[in-house]
Each structure stands twice: as structure tokens, then as C-alpha cells.
Amino acid sequence: MSRRVNNFSAGPSTLPQQVLEEVQAEFVEYQGSGMSLIEMSHRGNHFDEVHREAIVMTRKIFSVPDSFKVLFLQGGATFQFSMVPMNLLRAGERAGYVNSGSWATGAMTDARFYGDIYTAWEGKDCGYTRMPQDDELEIQSGTRYLHITSNETIGGVQFTHWPDVDVPLVCDMSSDYMSRAIPWEKFDLVYGGLQKNLGPSGMALVFVRESILENCNTDIGRYMRYAVHAEKNSMFNTPPVFPIYMLGKILKWMNEKGGLDVIERETQEKANLLYSVIDSSDGYYSCPVESMCRSTMNVVFRLPNDNLEAEFLKQSDASDLLNLKGHRSVGGCRASIYNAMPRTGVTALAEFMVAFRENNPG
Ligand SMILES: *Cc1c(COP(=O)(O)O)cnc(C)c1O
């Protein structure tokens, strides 16, 4: 038996053990073919079936309307920071960006190479501790889209209500995919890397409104064009075979659990467990994020001082509660509790936090 710890890593992150074992069992020989899936042609029957299944499951479990195309693209979410403006922004158009933290800043940095980008809301002024209200968003005329980051993985800040604006939204949902429903009517495009909630790294799951494809820029290389991938059903070149296969398996696992409704409830319950430990600790643990915008996926918290924080990380490590160190840019602690993190793992962390406080008074 392999040893499995409670892995709170922000990404790549913990995956369902059941899926890992299934993959292991069929890895060396895939379904009587005499070879593994990653050794065979991506145009053959076996992969064709895997690819088809992954798309069918994605459409089902995300409740994707027919008006959207599902794309599997390489380069993770980061490549989408460029691909979105390259395709969507035409001469004379601009795009607004909500700067909600590290990832939004990254998206803006890349977008500036391809068009007229402006900040529709600046979160830096409040230390990235909340998301904007609708009436704080400054949308300029000629805006093609407003880009938001639904969950800031590093800051632990999440949109708990979707902005209500007159322009289409584009959203980076890397770290809260499949944790809540997507109001499709608001979006022209939704993207995210797999490695937080949905699979291994290296691939982006992209949803693009079909009607915008014909208006996308065509003066860019073929791999950069959404329309090319849509026409070829994500088989324009050799696709990321293994991530697509894993995605299909993980979505099936989510479906067996009961789908989005069950996962959404579980997500809320897991997050509440940790936030209630923080809030009932008389300030021993503190979360810098405003309570309305606290992330259900990445719970960030601090201890009374650096020494206690270091001790906390040391002892949690020794208790098989791993990767609780906050991102190097912000410090502190962070527990990433994505879909594959079982409730038992979160309970173990909550109990550890209570006991640590008792044994190490501030
Ligand atoms: C992890 C992450 C990214 C970057 O994903 P890559 O696959 O490494 O490119 C982008 N945005 C958010 C919100 C993330 O959490």
C-alpha cells in the first residue's frame, strides 16, 4: 500500500486516490491493446474514445450550453493570459481587468502586449483583501470584455457574487472550477488550468462562446486561434493525451459523487470548518480576507508571530498535514482544499489547529 498524506498543496494538488489507482491498473497495458495510452496514436480508436468521453463528461458535469465550445489547450492557464486578448481584441477595442491579486496582475501583464488594457478596479489599495462591488467597477466605452479572476489562489479571495455588468465577462477559473455553478449567459469565455480541481498540470480547459469565433483575429499563428481548435475539436495537433485522460476519469469520479450540487455543498462545509476554527480562536489565527470574499478553495491564515508560524508548519508536516506554507510572495499559511481533498483531511487539519493553539499559547 502506498502512503497517502493530507496534501494541501495549491497546485499541482491532491487527486482522488480511487482515480490514481484506476490509472495505475491500466497504465502499462491499456484495455487489451498491448501498449499504454500514452504510446499510441492520438488518432486511433482508443484515444478517440477517451477524448470523446472527456468532452461528454465535461459538458454534462459543467452543464455547458450548446452555445459554448469545449477546448483542451496546452500551456496551462498562463497561455490563456495571452491567447484571450490576441483573439478577442480587435483594433479600437479595449478590455477592462479587475486587479484582484497575483493572478489577475499576471493576466494584465500579458494582455498589455496585445491591446488597450485598463484597470476596471484596483485591489492593491486594500491589500487584495476583497473583491469589488458592482458599483465600484469602472467600465470604459469600447470595452470588448471585462476580465475577472473568480478565485485568487494566492490571496485566498473569491468572487462570491458574479459581477453584473453590460459587457461580456472573461474569467480565469483555474482554482475554483467545479466548485460552483457557472452562469454561462454572463461569459464569452471561461478558462482554467486543470491542476487545482480537475487533473494534472499542463492543460487548460477552455469554454468559448461559439458565436464570437468568427470575429476573432486571424493574423496570428494557427495554434493561437480559438477558431482553429474549435473546428478541429481540440485535435489540431497532438493533444495533451494524458491530462485529457485524467480529466475524463476525475469528472466521472465527481459525477459518481453526485455532481456539482453535492460538491458545492461539500466545498462550503469544508471551508466553514476551517474558517470557524479561525474565527473562534480569539485572534490567535487570523484571516486577512474580508469575510464576504473568503475563498472556499484556498484558506489563508496567519498565526500571532513568525516563530509560531514556523513551529506550526513544522508540527503539521510531522502530522502528515503537508504543504500548508503560504505562497512565498505573501507568507503565512494556506490550506488548499480543492474537490479531491476529503472532508476527513479538513477535519484532521481543523483538529490540529485547535490542539496547536492550546499547546502553543501566543
Ligand atoms: C494556477 C493558476 C494559474 C496558472 O496556471 P498554469 O497552469 O501554471 O499556467 C492561473 N490563474 C490562476 C487563478 C491559478 O490558480
Beta-carbon count within 10 A of 12 CB? 15
Q: Does 9 map to a domain?
A: no
Binned at pLDDT 50, 70 and 90, residue 226 comes out as very high
Active-site annotation, residues: 103, 172, 196
pLDDT number for residue 220:
96
Residue 190 pLDDT more than 90?
yes
CA distances from 301 to 113, 278, 282, 287 (A): 35, 8, 13, 5
Which set of grid coordinates corresponds to residue 228? 482553429
Q: Quick one: 184 and 288 in the same domain?
A: no
Q: Are strands 187-193 and 203-209 parallel, antiparallel or unpaired?
A: antiparallel
Q: How far is the CA of 225 from the centre of ligand 1 (A)?
A: 20
Q: Quick one: 253 and 266 in the same domain?
A: no
Q: How far is the CA of 38 from the centre of ligand 1 (A)?
A: 25
How many residues are listed for the chain in this entry?
362
Binned at pLDDT 50, 70 and 90, residue 305 comes out as very high
Q: Which residue CA neighbors atom 5 of ligand 1 most closely? A: 77
Q: Quick one: 265 and 219 in the same domain?
A: no
Are 13 and 7 in contact, with CB atoms under 8 Å apart?
A: yes
Which atom of ligand 1 is the closest one to the Cα of 175?
A: 15
Which atom of ligand 1 is the closest one to the Cα of 151?
A: 13
pLDDT number for residue 75:
97
Which atom of ligand 1 is the closest one to the Cα of 154?
A: 15
Q: In the listed set 236, 257, 278, which residue is the last one of a domain according to the structure? A: 257
Among candidates 281, 297, 276, 289, which has minimal Cα distance to 332? 289
Kindly report the average pLDDT of the chain as a whole number. 97
Q: Does 7 map to a domain?
A: no
CATH number at residue 180: 3.40.640.10
Beta-carbon count within 10 A of 76 CB? 19
Determine the average pLDDT of the residues in 102-130: 97
Q: How far is the CA of 69 from the centre of ligand 1 (A)?
A: 21
Residues with C-beta less than 6 Å from any ligand 1 atom? 11, 76-78, 103, 149, 153, 172, 174-175, 193, 196, 201
Q: In the listed set 223, 257, 291, which residue is the last one of a domain according to the structure? A: 257
Threshold 0.75, pTM exceeds: yes
Q: Does 201 map to a domain?
A: yes
DSSP per position, 53-73 = HHHHHHHHHTT--TTEEEEEE
Binned at pLDDT 50, 70 and 90, residue 139 comes out as very high
Question: What is the domain range of residue 148?
Answer: 17-257
Beta strands in the chain (DSSP E): 6-7, 68-74, 94-99, 116-122, 143-149, 151-152, 157-158, 169-172, 187-193, 203-209, 298-301, 321-322, 333-336
Read off the pLDDT of residues 254-287 as tens digits, 9 standing for 90 and up: 999 999 999 999 999 999 999 999 999 999 999 9
pLDDT number for residue 92:
87
Q: Does 12 map to a domain?
A: no
Binned at pLDDT 50, 70 and 90, residue 191 comes out as very high
CATH number at residue 320: 3.90.1150.10
Residue 2 pLDDT more than 90?
no
Are 128 and 260 in contact, with CB atoms under 8 Å apart?
A: no
CA distances from 146 to 99, 192, 260, 357 (A): 11, 16, 26, 43
Are 140 and 96 in contact, with CB atoms under 8 Å apart?
A: yes
> Rounded distance, CA 300 to CA 176, Å?
15
Q: Quick one: 302 and 225 in the same domain?
A: no
